[in-house]
Structure 1
Amino acid sequence: MTLYSKTMIAVYLLIIKLFSSGYFLNPNLQCKNVTVRNIHHMCTSLACFEELPALEYFCTNVYENIFKCSSKNIPIEYICDGIQQCRNGVDEDPTVCKNFECRSNYYKCIDGKCIAPWKLCDGVYDCLNGLDESALICRMLLLQKNNSCPNIFDNSYITTCYIKYGTKISIMPCNEYLPVGTTVEVRCNTFYLSSDNKSKQKLVCRDNGTWSQTVLKCKAECGVIPDLNIFPSILHGWPIKPNLWPWYAGLFENGSKKWNYFCGSTIISTNIVVTAAHCVWEIPKNHIQVIAGKYKSDYYINEEGTQIKVILHIFIHPLYQDVIGNYATDLAVLVLVDHFQLSNTVIPICLNWSLRNIVSNLTQDLEGMVIGMGLTENGKPSEQLRAVKMPIVNNDECLINQRVEFKKFISITTFCAGSKNGSTVCNGDSGSGLAIQDPQTQKWYLEGIVSISPKDHNNDLCDVHYYSIFTNVGMYVDWIYQISSAFTEY
């Protein structure tokens, strides 16, 4: 015999005992010298539980499933179901329903009312606040009945989702799975451009759980400067205003229990920056922070629009051997743990992915712009970002006008830039990018990475009478692409 059968027999025996004792006619029962006045008292008092072992089962499974009202007893499932059963309406009283637990497949309104599943999203407001007809509830209901489409939610998009149920249409959140019949309008977010020149797109979730067409692809806009107003003042460069060169990101190292600026880098996508290999050579990635939108070299100065990122991977070019390799292939790609949010102060620079060599396109009047926070003409680190224009020169001229001991650093994978008029890059500018503006598109492209500069024998500054050497990015775009495409969609 099962435990359930034994329990039910005990309950029946209990009921027989109660009847035989005349309890239901004269509801007074003695348990441990306590007079139990009625069934409610019996089920809420512990006095009889030891004497009548089946009493607990009876109270929880029989008595408590009956709701008492003045006119009749009704099953518990009829309580707060939106239909008045008792003449006095106590079964639908808000004070009763507020703490009442609805049946498992019923929806509970904020006022405690229980709504049957077939009354949800039927166009009739059963809850006082109308939530039984809300887009969220109806979306959940449709998801239970039908297939669903994956969400279309990304920083590169602006999406609006509409859901239709019955005769109603409501806007709903787009960041979760969406039921069949959902319509989504998609357009590229600010600072993003459509890869196929579409301004916007409308998709519908089909019965098989797929979208009616391929989702619009939006790429981060590159090489644009929101504000070109600058004010004059790197060595003999000028301070710049925030958001003037939004692809610059400073590298800060945690040394001596304090974060300090030590190199520059350039944002080429929302989660990729490039810098000089010697900047990150033998430095653990967890000792470095990449900060975009920051224009002060002091880590602890708060600035609006600053974004701090940590590094997921450091990729140093496999041919780089630091000083023993004469700083050849001085290039590193840093992959970030998460993405930058594009804004007026954070925008990637463009890269020419056609694998071309900048040297073949050089002219004497071609100028590049370098941004950095290295040493200034007074021998102290710059307190804020500075910019300097640097004319690019071909390697033949660079070799002729370079120190003998410095000529070994010039190769086909490098180029020289500088004016020999007192403006140059210096310590702390390493890793910063040299950008050139395309005269047709007006976009800025990354062409070089600050590598090394000759040192002045008379002081700790860089010698402004000689050209500085840059890593030629055009020689390495294939390697950069192989890495970045594994972490960013182009």
Structure 2
Amino acid sequence: MDSSRGVQWMLLLFEIRFFVIFTLESIEIQLFNEVIPLAEKFLPSFGFFLNFPFKTVPFHTFVINFNFCAAQEGCKPSWSSSPCPSFNTTLYGRVRYLLNGQTVSCKGSCPSGTTAVLTCQEFYSKNNNKIPRCLKNGTWNLELPFCAPDCGKGNSVAPLVVFGQSASPGSFPWHVALYNAVEEEHEFWCGGSLISQFAVLTAAHCTWQVKPEKLLLAFGKFRRELNIMESHVQVIEAARIEALESYQDASGNYNGDLSVIFLKKSVEINRFVRPVCLDWNLVHIDIQLSEGTMGAVLGWGITENDTFSEHLKLLYLPVVSDINCIAQQEIDFRKFVTYTSFCAGFANGSGVCNGDSGGGLVFWDEESQRWFLQGLVSVSPRKSGTPHCDPFYYTVFTKVSLFVNWLKKLKIDKDPNAVAEGTEGGEPEITGTRTPERTTNDPRDPYSLIRKYFEKYPAQVGKKQLNFPHSQKILDLLQRTDVVEGFTPQKDKQTC
């Protein structure tokens, strides 16, 4: 044994909830409590001595209402600083609190050094991987991440094909069918893309002069007809429609041909209904919209037989440069190719057509393993003598990423009904306020008595010799019957 430390003793008290280790040079007090199932150490540098053996007060009085080190800077537990408020319950996820690598229970507040780790439920992911830590001043150094629907993920990646084929259910789970009430019956109207739990992006010409109360939106749909039952389909009414104020439909050459339909209630995210990713930071637009890049589009549009497809079709199309697109188009159609649009397709009869309007053209990102929405089916030339499109010409798509700032202002990830009532949905509320310090006016509270004692007789901080008078008076105070008996401790507002 190291003679410099002298004889070491350990006193085990209170059913292994509290023990003291002391030497001739120092004293170490360790606590186990019900809030934090780890040993927290008190290391007083000023030194005081507990007579051995000695009488003690009841456990709950000693631990909950009395902190040995509260009055001295030289003796503080690792969590004697103000605790941090625990985070409010987060949607679609679970928060686990860790201290020194062990799980702890933060009921109302957490000690300093605690980290908060968020785990999201299936089909959701964190908006970032940052881990908040509780600081000694009683605040978290970071906001808690929130769980958002995992975007751009399908059940499978379809093989690359040139001509249309039936899309398997769930392979592109963001595709939406729009139905408009015509003479009291809802008819298939356009396609769209789910971009959040509360919003669908489609072409503005699909919602031009259309009242939202007449629209129904079907999610997870594979068959075109609304009245054909499919077990995983969700049908939701539209709440409101937002389009660019400058949009003028045909008279404006379909410039800015996009609109957002907000839903009356949020969709349920599952393997058949999930949102597509948007290129919020314009990281992918240059690569994905470069000439020859292949994108995927879905729809129930006109087939080669001039009839609507009964099943959802998938088609891969290459991006075409503006120069080549304009050169291939008829003169009267060239005005529709603008800065806010781009062209894609084959000039061989396999392009998109009537009924595909509003559907999304998505591009695969190998690094993130996600699909990103870059285009919306907008306009294409008509076949001579018919009201139908001509699939032997390139199709014009709205360039979605040019409008991300407008989409941000619309707050598409917020519940529109909650926003109207003054409370935002989606992200959990983060509180950074400190918990009020513990106070009591009870004159018999041992905490108050010991604090007053140290204020009157300060301990000699930093000295190695044991201060027997101080320790004896502490014990005397703790053993006073008028202090302990009949005292009902207040429920502590702090972790300790």
TM-score by length of 1: 0.59
Which of 148, 157, 178 aligns to 1:219? It is 148
Distance in structure 1 (CA, Å) of the matches to 2:407 and 2:322: 24
Q: Distance in 1 between matches of 2:90 and 2:284?
A: 38
Residues 201, 356 of structure 1: CA spacing in aligned structure 2 closer, same or farther, 3 A cutoff? closer
Equivalent position of 2:244 in the other structure: 317
Q: Residue 125 of structure 2 aligns with which residue?
A: 193
Q: Is the 8 A contact 2:195 2:276 kept in 1?
A: yes
Equivalent AA in structure 2 for residue 152 of structure 1: T
Match of 1:346 in 2: 273
Quote the residue 1:462 is aligned against: 389
Cα deviation, residue 431, structure 1 = 0.5
Deviation at 1:412, TM superposition (A): 0.9
What letter matches 1:469 in structure 2? Answer: V
Displacement of 1:394? 1.0
Shift of 1:356: 6.8
Decide which of 168, 186, 189 is 1:259's aligned counterpart.
186
One of 464, 475, 481 as aligned partner of 2:402: 475
Q: Aligned to 1:278, which of 189, 205, 210?
A: 205
- Structure 1: distance between partners of 2:366 and 2:144: 33
Q: Which amino acid aligns with 1:380?
A: T
Q: Return the alpha-carbon distance in structure 2 between the equivalents of residues 347 and 452 of structure 1.
A: 26
Give distance in 2, aligned partners of 1:276 and 1:356. Answer: 23
Are residue 383 (structure 1) and residue 310 (structure 2) matched?
Answer: yes
Cα displacement (A) at 1:440:
2.3
Cα shift at 1:359? 6.2
The one-letter code matched in structure 2 to 1:247 is W
The residue type equivalent to 2:406 in the other structure is W
Q: How big is the shift at 1:405? A: 1.2
* Equivalent position of 1:421 in the other structure: 348
Query: Is the CA contact (8 Å cut-off) linking 2:151 and 2:277 kept in structure 1?
Result: yes
Residue pair 1:232, 1:239 contacting (<8 A) in 2 also: no
Quick one: which of 390, 407, 414 aligns to 2:334?
A: 407
Classify the secondary structure of the residue corresponding to 2:205: helix
CA–CA distance in structure 1, aligned partners of residues 402 and 277 of structure 2: 15
Is the contact made by 2:199 and 2:261 (CA closer than 8 Å) also made in structure 1?
A: yes
2-side partners of 1:248 and 1:320: how far apart? 24
Counterpart of 1:10? none
Q: What is the identity, as a one-letter code, of the residue corresponding to 2:127?
A: S
How far the C-alpha of 1:362 sits from its partner, in A, is 4.0
Q: What is the match of residue 469 of structure 2?
A: none
Structure whose residues are more often helix by fraction: 1
CA contact (8 A) 2:257 2:378 kept: yes
3-state DSSP of counterpart to 2:406: helix
Distance in 1 (CA, whole Å) between partners of 2:356 and 2:362 is: 14
1:195 counterpart letter in structure 2: N
- Tell me, in whole angstroms, the C-alpha distance in 2 between the residues paired with 1:227 and 1:361: 20
Amino acid at match of 1:194: K
Return the match for 1:449 from 376, 383, 387: 376
Figure out how many residues of one structure are paired with residues of the other and give that number. Answer: 327
Aligned positions of 1:117-128 closer than 5 A: none
The C-alpha deviation readout for 1:105-159, integer Å capped at 9, x for no partner, is xxxxxxxxxxxxxxxxxxxxxxxxxxxxxxxxxxxxxxxxxxx97851523x146
- Give the Cα–Cα distance (whole angstroms) in 2 for the partners of residues 220 and 393 of structure 1: 32
Among 251, 254, 259, which residue is 1:327 paired with? 254
The match for 1:245 among 165, 172, 188 is: 172
- Partners in 2 of 1:306 and 1:238 — Cα distance? 21
Q: Cα deviation per residue 1:266-300 (whole Å; 9 max; x = unaligned)? A: 11111121100010111111111121111111101
Q: 1:247 Cα shift?
A: 1.1
Q: What letter matches 1:219 in structure 2?
A: A
* 1:370 aligns with one of 273, 292, 297: 297
CA deviation after TM superposition for structure 1 residue 187, in Å: 1.7
- Aligned pairs (5 A) from 1:162-177: none
Looking at structure 2, the residues matched to 369 and 293 of structure 1 have their Cα atoms a distance apart, in angstroms, of 17
RMSD: 3.6
Kept after mapping to 1: 8 A contact 2:133/2:140: no
Hey, which bits of structure 1, 4+ residues long, moved more than 6 A? 178-181, 200-203, 210-213, 230-233
1-structure distance, mates of 2:386, 2:337? 24
Q: Which residue does 2:470 correspond to in 1?
A: none
Deviations 1:166-192 (A, max 9, x none): xxxxx9xxxxxx7679x9985201111
Q: Within 5 Å, which residues of 2 pair with 1:68-147?
A: none
Q: Larger radius of gyration, structure 1 or 2?
A: 1
CA distance in structure 2 between the partners assigned to 1:381 and 1:321 by the alignment: 28
* SS of equivalent residue, structure 2 residue 181: strand
Q: For residue 237 of structure 2, give the secondary structure of its aligned residue in structure 1.
A: strand
* Alpha-carbon offset, residue 357 of structure 1: 8.9
Shift of 1:364: 3.2
State how far apart, in whole Å, the 2-side matches of 1:150 and 1:351 are: 29
Distance 1:259 1:411, change over 3 A: same
Alignment equivalent of 2:364, drawn from 419, 429, 437: 437
Whole-Å separation in 2 of the counterparts to 1:465 and 1:185: 54
1:438 Cα deviation after fit: 1.3
Would the aligned equivalents of 2:132 and 2:141 in 1 still touch at CA under 8 Å? no
Q: Which residues of structure 1 form unaligned runs of 5+?
A: 1-147, 162-170, 172-177
Counterpart secondary structure, 1:388? strand
Distance verdict in 2 for CA 1:259–1:330, change over 3 Å = same
- TM-aligned CA deviation for residue 361 of structure 1: 6.1
Number of the residue aligned with 2:444: none
Superposition deviation, residue 484 in structure 1 = 2.6
Distance 1:408 1:243 in 2: 37
Asked if 1 retains the 8 angstrom alpha-carbon contact of 2:198 and 2:412, the reply is: no
Higher relative contact order (CA 8 A, sep 6+): 2
One of 264, 269, 278 as aligned partner of 1:337:
264
1:365 to partner: Cα distance: 2.2
State the one-letter code of the partner of 1:222: C
Question: Which residue number in structure 2 is paired with residue 145 of structure 1?
Answer: none
- Name the structure 2 match of 1:152: 89
Q: Is the CA contact (8 Å cut-off) linking 1:359 and 1:415 kept in structure 2? A: no
Q: From the superposition, tell whether residues 216 and 353 of structure 1 become closer, same or farther in structure 2 (CA, over 3 Å).
A: closer
Identity %, equivalent residues: 33
Give the partner amino acid of 1:389.
Y
- Say whether 1:299 aligns with 2:226: yes
- Distance verdict in 2 for CA 1:195–1:244, change over 3 Å: same
* Residue 484 (str. 1) matches residue 416 (str. 2): no
Q: Distance in 1 between matches of 2:159 and 2:288?
A: 28
